Amino acid sequence: MSGIRIALNELRRLTGGVLPKLAMAALVLVPLLYASLYLYANYDPYGRLDKLPAAVVTVDAGATDSEGDERNIGREVTGELLDSGTFQWHGTSAEEAESGVRDDEYSFAITIPRDFSAALLSSGNFEPRQATITLTTNDANNYLSGTIADQVAEQVRATIAEKVGSEAADRFLLGFSTIHTKISEAHDGAGTLAKGAGELRQGQQQLAEGAQRLASGSTELASGLTTLKESTAELPAKTKELAEGASQVAAGNATVAQAGSALAAKSTELQDSLDNVDDQLAQRLREGGLSDSDVEHALGVLGQLRQPIDQADAEVQEASGKLTTLADGAQQVSDGAARLAGATPALVQGIQRASDGAGELADGATQLNTGQQGALSGTTQLTEGATELRDGLSAGLEEIPNPDDPTRSATADTIADPVAVNSVGMASAGTYGAGLAPFFIALATWIGAFVLFLLLRPLSTRALTAGASPLRVALGGWLASAVLGIAQVVVLFGAVTWLVGIDVAHPLGAIGFVVLASLTFTAIVHALNALFGAVGKFLGLVLLVLQLVSAGGTFPWQTIPDALYPLHVVLPMGYVIDGLRHLLYTGASLQILGDVLVLLAYLGGALAASTFAAHKRRVWTVSQLKPELAL
């Protein structure tokens, strides 16, 4: 008897009536009822979060920012939440929110406190403190709603932090622009200062040279005035003597002038007398009987005789005039000498004071020269410092950012949110249900294989009694479950893809892999039932539980406790889930070959175990015959 014939006999046995046929149909639909309904119910829960009621409470009093503008960030955030549509948001009071979360009217509540804006804007006044929002949850309503609320609160916090950080960064960058402008002005001022310092240095250089010449000239002046002072020390006494001598000369000259004047007067009288004599002589000669010509001749002779007297009179008159002039000049010289003698002491004192002042001037000029040299050195340092300041400000100005408004805004946004997540999905499930599909398909396949043997017999008693080979008996007992298992997964896969709407990257590869998983699972459950009988059913249930906790169907398998790692490696469901993920989302890869080999190894091992069980059943005991005979 061949294995196929044994399988067909077992199937005819189970479909011999209406109720058995309905039972077979139910067995085929068990995985469908388990997996497809669950996946349908959880196909896209995140797409329906707008049906989840949530409360938002805002008591923010607002605050004034660093620019003097009134801000109420709490109201802004509340408005954004109410308009977002992410949840069924309700703006309520604190009391209504608390009672609503307690009574399951709201899944969770977010409360924005009174000092929210003030805390967010406190950094602008250099009095920073953190702003807080209060998240109220109640796991008695639903544990996952609390988890979702935590994610929402974190997203709200991140959004607010990004918003406030963007504004703060914008003001920070605007401060850089202001600093750039002021540094630019300072650079221009430093350039002007450097230019002025250079001009000042040139002036200081000229002043230093003048001070040096002044010091040299004042020293020479002091030396000359000192010599003059020494030379004029006896001048008062000499001028006094000169005045006295001039006075004596003036007196003598006055006496001589008086004598000369007296002589001139006498000479004048003599001339007058002689003039009278001429007239008297002419008269007497005429009276004496001389003719006019004789008179004229006599007068001519007399005139010739008078010439020496006339000449002497002229000389006397001239000498008298000169003596008078000399006496007047001598008197003027005497008066001048007297005035000179009177002024000489003051002149000498003035020369002494000038000499002393020139000495002080020389000292002061020397100090001025020394100070000016120091000032020149300081001005040189000032020029160098101003030049370095200008150059330093110029270099620093190039390092200070001065972005335009669009660049500043973009930079502020980047500073506030520096990292963007670019999700490159090598494989994307798309929905929550699609993400769970590999786990529930694998689980439903095992459950389907498990329930088959509630009706199917693992080994055919007739074939055993007929002496069929253990391999044929084992294959015959397994093939019936394999056929029904294939029917189960085909119906399940069709419902999951067509009715639930889960997209499959490679349908043919996926259905082939699911068929291989069903063949493997039916072979394992068949082997357990063939080896252990009724106990095998219990062991199949135990294996189901162990695989539930170790397969990594919901969370990554690496997150399970370390003690369960060996179960994940040994048991087959984890490999089925892994292979389905690759086929549903991305298609087959080299990694799936390992999953296929593991399932084939389990399939071969299970059939070998079934063959061993069939071999053992060829020897009958009395306890075994009773139930078999009853059948």
**pLDDT one-digit tens code per residue, 582-592:** 888 775 567 78
Q: Do both 372 and 411 map to the same domain?
A: no
Q: Do both 374 and 441 map to the same domain?
A: no
Query: Could you tell me which residues come within 8 angstroms of residue 224 by beta carbon, excluding any fewer than 6 positions away?
Result: 358
In a domain, 16, yes or no: no
Instruction: State mean pLDDT over 47-72.
Output: 79
Q: Quickly tell me which residue has 């977010």 as its tokens.
A: 110
Range picked from 113-122, 511-520, 609-618 for highest mean pLDDT: 511-520
| More reliable by pLDDT, 498 or 59 | 59
Per-residue model confidence (pLDDT) at position 405: 65
In a domain, 248, yes or no: yes
- Measured CA to CA, the distance from residue 488 to residue 492 in angstroms comes to 6
In a domain, 308, yes or no: yes
Per-residue model confidence (pLDDT) at position 629: 45
Instruction: State mean pLDDT over 186-207.
Output: 74
Per-residue model confidence (pLDDT) at position 144: 64
Per-residue model confidence (pLDDT) at position 82: 83
Q: Do both 437 and 580 map to the same domain?
A: yes
Query: 131-135, 379-383, 481-485 — which is least confidently predicted?
Result: 379-383
Per-residue model confidence (pLDDT) at position 421: 44
| More reliable by pLDDT, 64 or 403 | 64
Give me the residues paired with residue 92 across strands.
none
Query: Contact 90/106 with Cβ under 8 angstroms?
Result: yes
Range picked from 57-66, 184-193, 462-471 for highest mean pLDDT: 57-66
Domain end, chosen from 388, 416, 450, is at 388
Q: Do both 414 and 502 map to the same domain?
A: no
Burial class (CB in 10 A: 0-12, 13-18, 19+), 250: buried
Q: For position 172, which CATH number holds?
A: 3.40.1710
Per-residue model confidence (pLDDT) at position 623: 53
In a domain, 603, yes or no: yes
In a domain, 453, yes or no: yes
In a domain, 629, yes or no: no
| More reliable by pLDDT, 287 or 115 | 115
DSSP label at 34? I
| More reliable by pLDDT, 79 or 373 | 79
In a domain, 206, yes or no: no
| 301-335 per-position pLDDT tens digit | 666 666 776 676 676 667 677 767 766 776 776 77
In a domain, 626, yes or no: no
| More reliable by pLDDT, 629 or 323 | 323
Would strands 108-112 and 53-58 be described as parallel, antiparallel, or unpaired?
A: parallel
| 104-152 per-position pLDDT tens digit | 788 888 888 888 888 877 765 566 777 788 888 877 666 566 677 777 7
| More reliable by pLDDT, 451 or 261 | 451
Phi, psi of 59 (to 5 degrees): -125, 20
Q: Do both 419 and 563 map to the same domain?
A: no
User: Treating both helix axes as pointing N-terminal to C-terminal, what angle do 590-616 and 573-581 enclose, rounded to 10 degrees?
Assistant: 150
Per-residue model confidence (pLDDT) at position 459: 75
Per-residue model confidence (pLDDT) at position 423: 44
Is pLDDT of 420 > 60?
Answer: no
Give me the residues paired with residue 112 across strands.
58
What would you report as the CA-atom Rg of the chain, rounded to the nearest whole angstrom? 70
DSSP string, 330-346: HHHHHHHHHHHHHHHHH
Is pLDDT of 539 > 80?
Answer: yes
Per-residue model confidence (pLDDT) at position 609: 92
Chain CA centroid to CA 218, Å: 64
Buried b (16+ CB within 10 A) or exposed e, 309-328: eeeebeebbebbeebbebbe
Q: Do both 405 and 435 map to the same domain?
A: no
Q: Do both 516 and 530 map to the same domain?
A: yes
Per-residue model confidence (pLDDT) at position 515: 93
| More reliable by pLDDT, 167 or 129 | 129
| 592-608 per-position pLDDT tens digit | 889 999 999 999 999 99
Per-residue model confidence (pLDDT) at position 631: 45
Share of the chain above pLDDT 90, in %: 6
Q: Do both 57 and 167 map to the same domain?
A: yes
Per-residue model confidence (pLDDT) at position 30: 58
Number of domains in the chain: 3
What are the structure tokens assigned to 72, written together? 């109420």
What are the structure tokens assigned to 158, written together? 């991140």
| More reliable by pLDDT, 401 or 601 | 601
Chain CA centroid to CA 585, Å: 43
Other Cβ atoms within 10 Å of 65 Cβ, number: 17
| 81-96 per-position pLDDT tens digit | 888 777 888 989 989 8
Q: Do both 368 and 413 map to the same domain?
A: no
DSSP label at 107? S
Position 213 confidence tier, pLDDT thresholds 50, 70, 90? confident
- Nearest CA to 514 out of 500, 530, 536, 494 is that of 494
Per-residue model confidence (pLDDT) at position 422: 45
Give the domain range for residue 353. 224-388
Share of the chain above pLDDT 70, in %: 61
The model's pTM: 0.57
Q: Do both 147 and 289 map to the same domain?
A: no
Is pLDDT of 433 > 70?
Answer: no
Is pLDDT of 545 > 90?
Answer: no
Instruction: State the chain's mean pLDDT as an integer.
Output: 73
Q: Do both 443 and 559 map to the same domain?
A: yes
Q: Do both 501 and 352 map to the same domain?
A: no
- Measured CA to CA, the distance from residue 62 to residue 196 in angstroms comes to 52
Instruction: State mean pLDDT over 2-7.
Output: 58
